[in-house]
């Protein structure tokens, strides 16, 4: 009986010891709503290197700007340009800094993995609606998202 009791105690200690060891090495975190998450040195910016202005636009007028997507830090990454929101007109986005050739079908994803120092540019072309109403607000929003990729 004593041998059996000792065996049960030993097994219980082994099981609780391995559970304790696992708990000491597992990590978890709860993430709630709030500002955008940023980890390590991965940060991406999308800026107008040549601003797109919608001020003083007449019906049917075309305005262009150059959008630059850049990464701060090292490592490899990819990005996606989502469908833009255009108030008072339409928007087309091109694969290069010039508004020539075929516009991208949005949403569009960069499939080739980019180096950390890459700063691709895209021409954004806004065409004002015809007709425009008096004092109509105009604007363009181009969503850009990025993901880090493994360096392996």
Domain ranges of the chain: 43-149
Residues forming a β-bridge with 148? 77
Task: Classify domain 43-149 at the CATH topology level.
Answer: Immunoglobulin-like (2.60.40)
Separation CA 103–CA 106 (nearest Å)? 9
Residues forming a β-bridge with 81? 108, 144
Q: What is the pLDDT of residues 1-14, one digit of tens each?
A: 544 444 434 434 33
How many angstroms separate the most distant Cα atoms in the chain?
96
Reading the block at residue 9, the tokens are 């105690």
Q: What is the pLDDT of residues 32-55, one digit of tens each?
A: 444 444 445 567 788 888 888 888
Helix, strand, coil distribution of the chain in percent, nearest 5: 15, 35, 50
CA atoms within 13 A on the CB side of 22: 6
DSSP annotation of 24 reads H
Residues forming a β-bridge with 147? 78
pTM: 0.68
DSSP annotation of 56 reads T
Check residues 91 and 16 and name the one with the higher pLDDT.
91
39: nearest Cα among 148, 132, 140: 148
Average of per-residue pLDDT across 77-86: 87
């Amino acid at each position: 009986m004593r041998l059996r009791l000792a065996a049960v105690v030993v097994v219980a200690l082994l099981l609780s010891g391995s559970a304790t060891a696992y708990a000491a090495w597992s990590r978890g975190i709860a993430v709630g709503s709030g500002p955008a998450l940023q980890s390590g040195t991965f940060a991406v910016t999308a800026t107008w290197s040549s601003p797109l202005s919608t001020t003083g636009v007449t019906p049917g007028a075309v305005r262009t700007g150059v959008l630059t997507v850049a990464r701060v830090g090292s490592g490899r990454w990819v990005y996606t340009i989502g469908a833009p929101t255009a108030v008072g007109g339409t928007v087309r986005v091109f694969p290069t800094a010039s508004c020539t050739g075929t516009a991208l079908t949005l949403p569009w994803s960069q499939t080739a993995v980019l180096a950390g120092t890459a700063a691709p540019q895209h021409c954004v072309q806004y065409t004002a609606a015809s007709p425009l109403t008096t004092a109509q607000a105009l604007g363009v929003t181009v969503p850009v998202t990025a993901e880090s990729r493994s360096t392996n």
